[in-house]
Each structure stands twice: as structure tokens, then as C-alpha cells.
Amino acid sequence: MEKSPETDAAASYKLDRQIGFVLRRVTQRHLSIFGTSIPQMTPTQFAALAKLYEVGPISQNALGRLIAMDGATIKGVVDRLVVRGLLATGRDAGDRRRTIVTLTREGETVYRVLADKAAQISAETLCPLDASEQVVLLALLHRMT
């Protein structure tokens, strides 16, 4: 019986070789490491603290864009961090519709404490690779974003 092109594609498709599946598995491993090392915060919450530490006060929407979150997601992240006292929000003097997000003193302290753990999490995630492989992998992934 002759196989149709659809059957050939179906037969040759191997889930374990697909980029999306592999990236999801790596992400699951990374999230597990993160959750064990920094159980008090989600990776998205930490990303918000890290980017605010890096760039300083910024609009909520701009923060979301910088850390690859849509408007609704970043609002929820910011709201939860405000409740914890790690962020403060206020209106932009030049555009009252814009919300400006700032690290509080406590937020900066928490970030400084967690930054070393976050670096260790990245190192543990990448540890199956040698140093040069890590550089190449990160460069290739950056090209895909």
C-alpha cells in the first residue's frame, strides 16, 4: 500500500523532535527550579522587579512590553506586587491616563536578595551544557525572539 504525502508527514513527525515541545519541557524544568529556589514569587513577578531595578520608574504598559507581557497580565502582576509592598504606582504627571510603576525600598531590597538566587537558577537550568554551548544556545534563542 502506497502512503499518501499526509501519511508520510504524519509518520515522520516525532513530537520529541519539535521545537515547541522541547522548549516547553525546558521551560517546565526551569520553572520547577525557580519554584524550589524562590517559592515566594512567580517568575513573572521577579521579571517585573528585575526590569524595574534595571530601568527605573516606567509606565505599566512599557514594563509589560519590556518583559513580554500583555496589558492584562502586567496589570495583575503589578497589582499583586503593590499589595505586597514591593511596587508603588502613580499617575504620570504628563498623561494622567498612564500608570507609572516604581520599585519601593522593600521591593529593591527583595530584588537584591533574590538576584543571586535568580542567577543560580539560570546556571542550574543551563548546567547540562558547557560554557560555550550556553553562549551559543542563548544567542540562537535571542535570534528567535
Q: Quick one: DSSP state of residue 16? A: G
| pLDDT class of 3 with cuts at 50, 70, 90 | low
Q: Which of 28-42, 59-73, 85-99 has the lowest mean pLDDT?
A: 85-99
Q: Is the pLDDT of residue 47 over 60?
A: yes
pLDDT at 96: 80
**What are the sequence ranges of the domains in the chain?**
21-144
- Give the neighbor-by-neighbor strand order of the sheet with 99-103: 58-59, 99-103, 87-91
- The closest alpha carbon to 77, from 106, 95, 51, belongs to 51
| pLDDT class of 22 with cuts at 50, 70, 90 | very high
Mean pLDDT of the chain: 94
Contact between residue 29 and residue 121 where contact means Cβ atoms under 8 Å apart: no
State how far the Cα of 46 lies from the Cα of 48, in Å rounded to an integer: 5
Higher per-residue pLDDT: 6 or 82: 82
pLDDT at 93: 84
21-144 CATH = 1.10.10.10
- Phi, psi angles (nearest 5°) of residue 64: -55, -45
Rg of the chain over Cα atoms, rounded to whole angstroms, equals: 20
State how far the Cα of 72 lies from the Cα of 75, in Å rounded to an integer: 5
Task: Estimate to the nearest angstrom the gap between the alpha carbon of 99 and the chain centroid.
Answer: 21
